[in-house]
Structure 1
Amino acid sequence: MPDVNLSRAADEGIGARIARKRRARGLTQQGLATRAFVSRSLIQQVETGRKPATPSLVAAVASALHVDPSEIYGQPYGNEIGRADRIHESIDEMRRALACVDVPLELDVPPRSLGELAAEVSRVRRLAQDAQHSQVGDRISALITELSFHVNDSGDPRAWTLLNNAQAVAVSLARRLGYNDLANFGIERAAAAAARSEDPNLPRLAQLSRALLLMTIGAWDAGMKLVERAGTGMDLDSSESRAVFGALQLRAAILSARAGRAGDAWEHYGLASEAARQLPERAPDFYGLQFHLLNVAIHGVAVAVELTDFDEAIRRDSRLSLPTSVSAERRAHHEIDVGRALVSTGQWDQALRRLLRAESIAPQMTRYHPMARESVIRLIDHHRKLPEPLRLLQDRMSLT
């Protein structure tokens, strides 16, 4: 059973966790602020719950305290006090499957054909886009193991491509649940598979995935270097390559925003918008990137949120209407971002509505998302008497 973080108070917010870890290191607030290159007043406000902790601050504090950001977030989360839930039960199997690509684990029955496995990769990718974490966890390890048999048996580039796709889904799940070490290991495996796939875009996408993990741990400059390296020398004549280039620019926009570089963030956002406008009107979803003009607009809200320009984020959101054709993962993430902006501007009722909407769209993702949980804790701290919808959400997140 994985070591799920259930030993601490379930309702402990990021600020309280920072304070506890700071004291354990023997640091004053000023000492931590100096190490994290932020002001003492910011540390004090976050620790006392008067100001929300941004991902940028979490990364800076984690670096200063020499811990993984997942420890500041309190990840991995368990769904019930004292018991790891089903999602975490898939982690050990996924770790074994990723580790044993060159010596595949034994299967009870012969592996499915590559055609059948291609269909299964598509199904699992759709489940991931719908934020069905448990169902992805139930399927992904067996899928990686079956594809490992094929790559060892035939070395078929198509098998390597499918293996890379499955490993990328595993990486995403591990990162979302807070297993950053496993995500990093999976990225290395996915990059190795990409190199044998004969698809020139897959190695670039492996770098894109790695840049996202670097963003999670606050390595902004390293992440930007990876994105720049991945985009160097791209042939943009095909729609597939333009979609990859656009996705790289969106990653660069968020990285720049978290680093506080507003000019760079909006410049990369503009390049992504241009790439999206150059795609055919009904282009397929290349590589599962969901790269299109509406997704770029969603990222515009995210860029503003990461820059803590909450008024701009709310203004951009007011112009958006997301149809159900946009994946549940994208729609729920957008609602969480807007919820963060509304909490930060003191619009408590509207924030609760958006967070409840996120949960209705993608329950598993919302309950495990560190910024959703932090926003809910801020709402709880604000109310002397909890509204019933907030109390029930608190219960579902096990924040009691």
Structure 2
Amino acid sequence: MPSLDDDHTGTRIREQRRLARLTQRGLAARIPYSYSLLNQVECGARPATSTFVAAVAHALGIDVTVLTGQPYVTELQRDRLAELVRPIREALDLYDLGVNPDLVARPATELVTAADHLCAEVRATHIRNAARSLPGTIAELTHTAWSAPSTELWQALASTYRTAHDITVKLGYYDLSAVALDRMAWAAERASDPCLGAVRQYMRALVYFREGEYTIGQRLVASGHGIVGQAEPTREVLAVTGQLHLGASVICARAEDQAGVDRHIKEARDISKRTGDASDVHWLSFGPANVALHRMSAAVEMGQYDDALTQARKIRLPASLATSRRAHFLIDRARTEMETGLTDKALEHLVEARKAAPEQTRYHPGARETIRGLVHMARRTPDTLNHMASWVGL
């Protein structure tokens, strides 16, 4: 068995609990989990699920990243990804300077295509490629949108800010992702695009979902419905509406609201029957397959692992599904299999997630916790698991 480091989510929970002058029983009384589970997580005998971490962070009044240790700077530096973050930060900061007289930008049509290509790169989990190209594209679009404003250019600029959010979330820079969403709102207002505004509210809701603020998340989803409801019921509007329902379903799952989960999944399923595969709409991956994936994710979030595994075995992922969504499913499935004692299968699906989306998997806190859990459960650690644990920095 490999010697795991002592800097893990459990030890960070213990440290923050002590700083708050709470005993284990005192903290357990503030979260919907037992003292026994808290004790096991703190000593590293059980993985800390995202739901558990969010509950502890909420109870202690701290950010989730304080407990997960994100961003994983050591691994990011080794992968030469950390150096790509500062240019993104600077590009987000210079949004209001107007025309740049020293910049020669590509034609507007090329910039619109470039913004769309960045979305495609992130969905294909080519995070490094997207991160390298993003700051320059933001600078060119900012310059061009100020010098010759048009709806299409403001939409493209909003899209690049959305890509900045996606990249920084995947790399664990949640503070920067919030700035990106503010910039997205700024550009979406200038584009007068209700769908972009609603997508931004959906993404903000997921921020609060990660932090355990489920009531705020639901309010943001409701705001998104209000924004998109002002537009004509086109296929684009329907897809965005359906995705809002999917976001609400996992928020309800975290809040242990089964009726809410069922209601939102039904709404999304009914909409998906009208739209079919609408993964082309704002790169949301909305469609029947994503409805099935969210239904399974809701079961995982509620700890209904037997049900989640039954669903996972029935899911057939379409070839058109984005690699980022496929990898997320594999990580969820691996966690479910670990929780139901199918450790070999769990490792198999983590390896598959790594092959499909190495950068996304390496920096996914759920993948790291599942790997740690598998190591603790193993009587004899196979080489593959040793390699995975080393690869994610455990």
- Give TM class, smaller chain: over 0.9
Distance 1:106 1:365 in 2: 34
Distance 1:284 1:372 in 2: 25
Name the residue aligned to 1:247.
Answer: 243
Name the residue aligned to 1:45.
Answer: 40
Distance 2:190 2:98 in 1: 18
Contact 1:150 1:156 in 2 (8 A): no
1:222-243, Cα deviation, whole Å (9 max, x unpaired)? 0101101211235563111100
Distance 1:314 1:66 in 2: 33
Quickly say closer, same or farther: Cα 1:368–1:237, change in 2 above 3 A.
same
Distance 1:349 1:40 in 2: 29
Distance 2:44 2:63 in 1: 22
Distance 1:26 1:204 in 2: 41
2:142 to 142, 148, 151: 148
Distance 1:66 1:105 in 2: 42
Distance 2:309 2:135 in 1: 40
Residue 104 of structure 1 and its aligned partner are, at CA, apart by 5.7
Q: CA RMSD in A?
A: 2.0
Name the residue aligned to 1:271.
Answer: 267
Within a 5 Å distance, the mapping from 1:323-342 to structure 2 comes to: 323-342=318-337
Structure 2 residue identity aligned to 1:90? L
Quickly say closer, same or farther: Cα 1:38–1:391, change in 2 above 3 A.
closer
**Partner of 1:196: helix, strand, or coil?**
helix
1:153-195, Cα deviation, whole Å (9 max, x unpaired)? 1222211100000000101111222212111111111111111
1:327-348, Cα deviation, whole Å (9 max, x unpaired)? 1101100000011111111211
Contact 1:52 1:344 in 2 (8 A): no
1:105-152, Cα deviation, whole Å (9 max, x unpaired)? 968750111111111112111110011221111111111111110122
Name the residue aligned to 1:100.
Answer: 94
Distance 1:308 1:348 in 2: 17
Runs of 4+ in 1 over 6 A off after TM superposition: none
Name the residue aligned to 2:288.
Answer: 293
* 1:69 and 2:91 matched: no
Distance 2:385 2:102 in 1: 46
Within a 5 Å distance, the mapping from 1:1-400 to structure 2 comes to: 12-36=7-31, 38-78=33-73, 80=75, 83=77, 85-103=79-97, 109-232=103-226, 233-235=229-231, 237-279=233-275, 281=276, 283=278, 285-399=280-394
Distance 1:161 1:198 in 2: 9
Name the residue aligned to 1:4.
Answer: none
TM-score (ref. length: structure 1) = 0.92
Quickly say closer, same or farther: Cα 1:183–1:145, change in 2 above 3 A.
same
Distance 1:112 1:20 in 2: 51
TM-score (ref. length: structure 2) = 0.93
Distance 1:361 1:86 in 2: 20
Contact 2:246 2:268 in 1 (8 A): yes
**Partner of 1:288: helix, strand, or coil?**
coil
Q: Which runs of 5+ in 2 are unaligned?
A: none
**Partner of 1:226: helix, strand, or coil?**
helix
Structure 2 residue identity aligned to 1:275? I
**Partner of 1:202: helix, strand, or coil?**
helix
Contact 1:305 1:313 in 2 (8 A): yes
Contact 2:278 2:285 in 1 (8 A): no
Name the residue aligned to 1:6.
Answer: none
Structure 1 residue identity aligned to 2:381? L
Q: Which runs of 5+ in 1 are unaligned?
A: 1-8
**Partner of 2:158: helix, strand, or coil?**
helix
